[in-house]
Amino acid sequence: MCGLSHLHSLNIVHRDLKPRNILLSQPGPLGRVRALISDFGLCKKIPEGRTSFSLRSGIPGTEGWIAPEVLLETPGNKPVRERQLTPHLT
């Protein structure tokens, strides 16, 4: 969590955090395991107060690991109501 907090303190968003991008070390002399973040290819520095996700520019990340709330945002950054996604069920 320290690494992710550090990135966020610099206004950097990883945008592809998933189990495959977390590396674990062998236990050290005290039996501790270190977790390290890897694969910074999709990292983005963002201006204060902005989000990195925009449907206009595509959604970065790995399919299957993208947060549902990101997929439910419209270009105006307003959440899509569930009934808009499934009009045939209303």
Catalytic residue among 13, 16, 17, 53: 16
The DSSP-derived string for 5-46 is HHHHHTTEE-S---GGGEEEPPP-TTS---EEE---TT-EE-
Q: With contact defined as beta carbons under 8 Å apart, do 17 and 52 qualify?
A: no
Q: Could you give the CA distance from residue 7 to residue 3 in angstroms, rounded to a whole number? A: 6
For residue 81, the one-letter residue type is R
**Active-site residue flag, 39:** no
Residues noted as catalytic: 16
